[in-house]
Amino acid sequence: MAEHLIEFRNIKKRYGSVDALGGVDLYVDKAEVLGLIGDNGAGKSTLIKILAGVVKPTSGEISVRGSPVYGWNAARSREVGIETVFQDQALALQQSIIDNVFMGRELVGMFGWLKAKRQFAEADRLMREIGFTSKAFTPHSIVGQLSGGERQGVAIARAMYKQVDLIVLDEPTTALSLTETAKVFHYVRQVRASGHSIIFIDHSIHHVFDIADRFAVLDRGKIVLETDRSEVKSVQELIGFMEHVAHPATDVQLPRRGSRWASALTDQADKSPPRSPTGEDSEVEKGWRQFSGQWLRRFVFEHRAALGTLAVFLVMMSIFVAANPAVFTTWSIYSSVLTTLPVALFVVVPLVFVVAGGEIDLSFPAVMGFASWAFALLVQAGFDPLIAMVAAILTGLVLGFCIGMLVVYAGLSSLIATLGMNFLLRGLIQIVNEGRSIALVTLGNSLSYKLFSSVILDVPVQILWAVGFVIFATLLYNRHRFGAHVKAVGDNPDSARQMGINVKRVRVRLFVFMGVGAAIGGTFSTMINLTWWPTAGDGYLLPVLTSVFVGGTPAWGGVGTVMGGAIGALTVASIQTGVVAAGLSGFYVQFFYGLIIILSLLGHRWNQIRYR
């Protein structure tokens, strides 16, 4: 007899005095679809979790290709080629198809940089292989914009990418319309044709009958019926077999009308869940369906938040220029903005990562002050400013790590914990220094000052470093494994965890990155002023937060734009200078702050949709 792909022998699972599984014998052969049917409480969920390695059986034996496997767990399950697509699909709805297919196992090159072209080609191949033939979407399409059946297809494609032998589909047609269910059936048939096996678990006996090669009925923790598709002519006959098992006196050809099998397991008139919050295709979704294959339109769509922020900035500057052309057509006004803008950029950029990762950090002003304090003390003591800068960055790194550990492993709210750390660190600075500043009179003659805070051709050097930092962070966010993990964790941490991403480590790294950025920003601020003040960083809390949200990074996590945050920082930095230079009083500054924030948020609300 040919060996089975997977076989369960007398699998039992006991929870206290309750037998969830009472000795299950079940097997799956290569390239077949096994339909597993069972009512609520029959033991399907327990059996799935054992198969996935999430739950250990109390007793019994699991064999793979005829050989017993010992020490069964999630890792062993994956090693032998089993992938489970749970009912929630473990998808990150605000990410692209590519991001979901490769979540937790990205194709990377040296130093963790993504192989974007290869991922695109592989995702496209997988989607076409399982039957995605529509030209309405590409691997770059957002999963939240797909229908329920198409989302199941993405989950199946992700399972196939692992080159598994057996895919377990848990209730894949729940809440799907007939059209969407047909799509899922098509994907399943394509997977079977490619040589994979599938366990198809569903409440609806009609769905199972239409797709399965063999049927197994689970009732009260035991397999009560197994039969091949060739032995059953109709759904009614299958129900009759099931009724005969439950009630041996019943004629198998005449299933009882209204029986629990016929009523509980028959198909329900499901409807597809709404595609958008309004229940209809949004304007963004309608437009999205026209972007396939058009690079420019796709670029505009993917960067619409940053481009919207840029449009707001240009409108604002147009108003300022019209108000006072003589001032705003000279370079000096822009040079003054570019002198201090880098400090904000070094803090705004990592905060975009933090917010996209589903967290918030309000401790960065005090971290700026603390790290720049370390820099000032070392310079005052006669150390080379370069060494002092390294020490300041290490100080920010350590502080960020401590804050991250406090939030992640102590389980504290990031909002409250970081606000508390801001007060604690600032209080410590004030207690030690008693309000005294540190003047760095020799710093202006150093090589470090010329490298990081001088002027070349009327352009402040620090803006060049800041632009380089923004470019690096943009690539890190969009083209590196760390950025992919940040978005996955911020979008759906449970999905990220199921896909093997170390969620806690990613969250700690977010605060470390924030600490490093704050340290660099604080150091540059001290070099610009040639003086360290105990209040260093205090004035950046609200402008930096405003820059992040004006730039198009929403507060719900999973979505962010580094370039948008940088443009937001430029917008915020230009408001006060622009208002005064336009001849208006300082009272207008707050008015323009509010106006720009409201206009930006309205624009982002129109072109951004939350899919979870």
pLDDT digits (tens, 9 = 90+) for 513-563: 999 999 999 999 999 999 999 999 998 998 999 899 888 888 888 999 999
Q: Confidence class of residue 268 from pLDDT cuts 50, 70 and 90?
A: very low
Instruction: Examine residue 166 and state whether it is found in any structural domain, yes or no.
Output: yes
d(CA 196, CA 194): 6
- Phi first, then psi: give them for residue 107, nearest 5 degrees: -85, 115
Mean pLDDT, residues 275-282 = 38
Residues 396 and 248 in one domain: no
Residue 28: pLDDT band (50, 70, 90) is very high
Residue 296 lies in a domain: no
**Domain C-terminal end among 264, 292, 315:** 264
Stretch among 106-120, 266-280, 340-354, 377-391 having the lowest mean pLDDT: 266-280
CB 414 within 8 A of CB 406: no
Q: At 459, is the secondary structure helix, strand, or coil?
A: strand
The CATH number that applies at residue 417 is 1.10.3470
pTM for this prediction: 0.82
What's the pLDDT score for residue 550? 87
Bigger pLDDT: 341 vs 176: 341
Start-to-end CA span in the chain (Å): 49
Rounded to whole angstroms, how far apart are CA atoms 5 and 67?
A: 10
pLDDT digits (tens, 9 = 90+) for 465-484: 999 999 999 999 999 999 99
| 498 bridge partner residues | none
Q: What is the DSSP letter of 480?
A: B
pLDDT of residue 374: 96
| Dmax (CA) of the chain | 101
Between 298 and 381, where is the model more confident? 381
Q: Note whether 430 and 522 are same-domain residues.
A: yes
Please write the tens of the pLDDT for every residue from 319-342: 888 888 888 888 888 888 999 999
> Per-residue pLDDT for 436 more than 90?
yes
Statement to judge: residues 560 and 463 lie in one domain: yes
The share of the chain scoring above pLDDT 90, in percent, equals 40
Same domain, 238 and 345: no
How many structural domains is the chain composed of? 2
Is residue 272 situated within a structural domain? Answer: no
Predicted confidence band at 275 (pLDDT cuts at 50, 70, 90)? very low
DSSP state letter for 142: B
Banded pLDDT at 277 (limits 50, 70, 90): very low
579 with 486, same domain?
A: yes
For 54-78, what is the mean pLDDT? 88
Instruction: Report the SS3 class of residue 215.
Output: strand
* Cα separations in angstroms, 462 against 394, 465, 474: 20, 5, 18
Q: Domain range for residue 236?
A: 6-264
| Span 400-411, pLDDT tens digits | 999 999 999 999
* Of the candidates 383, 418, 376, 394, the residue with the CA atom closest to the CA atom of residue 524: 376
Mean pLDDT: which of 131-135, 173-177, 234-238 is highest? 234-238
In a domain, residue 312? The reply is no
Average pLDDT, the chain: 84
Is 540 among the domain residues?
Answer: yes
CATH of residue 189's domain is 3.40.50.300
Position 286 scores a pLDDT of 42
Q: Which residue did the predictor score with more confidence, 588 or 70?
A: 70
Is the same domain home to 214 and 349? no
Both tokens of 578, joined, read 């622009």
**Residues 506-517: what's their mean pLDDT?**
97
Query: Does 298 fall in a domain?
Result: no
pLDDT of residue 72: 87
pLDDT of residue 133: 64
Higher pLDDT: 139 or 262? It is 139
Domain membership flag for residue 247: yes
* Token reading at 596: 């720009």
The whole-angstrom separation of Cα 521 and Cα 504 is 26
Cβ–Cβ < 8 Å for 506, 489: yes
In a domain, 284, yes or no: no
Amino acid type, 289: R
Q: Do 478 and 363 share a structural domain? A: yes
Quick one: what percent of the chain has pLDDT higher than 70? 87
> Where a domain ends, among 214, 248, 264?
264
Same domain for 346 and 218: no
What pLDDT was estimated at residue 389? 96
What is the pLDDT at residue 227? 86
- Asked if residue 260 and residue 173 are part of one domain, the reply reads yes
Band (294; pLDDT cuts 50, 70, 90): low
pLDDT at residue 135, rounded to an integer: 66
Comparing CA positions, the residue from 367, 373, 563 lying closest to residue 466 is 563
Angle (nearest 5°) at CA 326 between 323 and 327: 80
The predicted pLDDT at position 520 comes to 97
Task: Give me the residue label for tokens 């009260």.
Answer: 220
Over the stretch 572-609, which tens digit does the pLDDT of each residue have?
888 878 887 777 776 777 787 788 778 777 776 666 67
Same domain, 243 and 331: no
Q: What is the pLDDT of residue 607?
A: 64
User: Which range, 224-233, 281-290, 392-401, 455-464, has the best average confidence (pLDDT)?
Assistant: 392-401
User: Which whole number is the average pLDDT over 166-190?
Assistant: 83
Q: Verify that 74 and 151 share a domain, yes or no.
A: yes
Query: Which of 264, 296, 311 is the last residue before a domain boundary?
Result: 264
Q: Are residues 347 and 200 in the same domain?
A: no
**DSSP sequence for 15-84:** ETTEEEEEEEEEEE-TT-EEEEE--TTSSHHHHHHHHHTSS--SEEEEEETTEE--S--HHHHHHTTEEE
Residue 278, pLDDT score: 37
Q: What is the mean pLDDT of residues 310-319?
A: 86
Quickly state the pLDDT bin for 85 (edges 50, 70, 90). Answer: confident
Which residues partner with 14 through β-bridges? 19
